[in-house]
Amino acid sequence: IKMPPTAIPKTMNYKYMILSESDTEKYTEFITRCCAPFEYTLLWKDLLEKHFSFHGFYLVCKDEHNLIQGVLPLFKAQGVGSSRLVSTPYAIYTGPVSEKEDIKLGLINFAQDVAQKENVDYVEIREKFPYTYPSQFSSRSKVFNFSLHLSSNPEDVWKKLPKSSVRWGVKKAEKSGLTWTSGNSQNDVDNFYSLFLQTRKFRGVPAYPYHYFKGIINSFPDTAQSQVRLQLAQSLEVIMSQRLLPSPEHGMVPAAEIMLASDAIRNLIREGKPQMIDNTLATSVTMGMMPLERSLALLIDKGWVEETEAMKYTLHPDELRRLLKLRKFNK
């Protein structure tokens, strides 16, 4: 989303500023509570500034009690003949984070102020849901990325891989006796980087610096990960999300997913077993939890959403089919 020079009215009762050293602890607590991805962490900011010469501007919104209510990470990037503020380099979606839409818009407005002071050409907000933005924003919905959602079922992951290019290559590698290892020792990093350089050279694209990967390992050690998991397990209460689906008769209807922080969920987070959360969520419906697949099945059962449309929004199509068959049998 490229922002034209049209100011958005500032929201009231909030203060917008660039993150200061004294507020780093509050910032970390806020993004942990919001379950923001690692690209929002200050460790990631340090990595980008150190190894790619970006300058970070982490924007925050505070309420009258001096508590952080919204954040937006920005980095100044210098291109060929132009400069920009982007949220953030080498990430897919890192838009403003807040529970309130007016705070998100206030952060965007403050980003424009920072852009004018830094004399950049434009601001690029990598936001997953651009419909929350005013009409004066220019949106580009066609985005290419190389991310893949990993679920606990290997078959679901396999089906998401492109058949002709990726699956064929994996099967060929298996038949050739290819093996793989993982680790974070010096030798592991050296072997990885050697293969990484060969791959980038073969594809004709520049490689990232060696110390970038060393920085990732040093900045995100196992001890730091366990500390973040512990903080999240202690502070988490509930996660609610929704996806809007087109309905033939009702315009757009929401499919909701609700996860309560039960003892089982907290234990899985503490123990670093996120792959088991889906199963716990599916077996905890009586506690008030709602898997996305069950919500989609209810919409299909009511006739509000077509089954073919619902399949586009699920990460577990086999589970959705199972629920639909079960509901038909019960009828």
Domains of the chain: 15-132 (3.40.630.30), 154-219 (no CATH), 230-330 (3.40.50.300)
pLDDT tens for each residue of 138-176: 776 666 666 777 776 778 888 888 887 788 888 888 888
Average pLDDT over residues 35-62: 90
Question: Which is more confident, 12 or 192?
Answer: 192
Q: In angstroms, what CA-CA distances link 124 with 86, 93, 161, 280?
A: 5, 11, 29, 38
Average pLDDT over residues 225-233: 75
Q: In angstroms, what CA-CA distances link 66 with 14, 104, 149?
A: 9, 17, 36
Q: Which residues contact 232 (CB under 8 A, 6 or more apart)?
A: 32, 35, 269
Q: Which residues contact 120 (CB under 8 A, 6 or more apart)?
A: 76, 83, 84, 85
Amino acid letter for position 253: V
Q: Which residues contact 311 (CB under 8 A, 6 or more apart)?
A: 317, 320
Q: How far apart are CA 184 and CA 216, in angstroms?
A: 10
- Whole-model pTM: value is 0.62
The closest of 296, 264, 294 to 277, measured between CA atoms, is: 264
pLDDT tens for each residue of 108-129: 889 989 999 999 988 888 876 6
Average pLDDT over residues 255-263: 92
**To 10 degrees, what angle do helices 222-235 and 263-270 make?**
170
- The SS3 call for residue 25 is helix
Whether the pLDDT of residue 331 is over 50: the answer is no
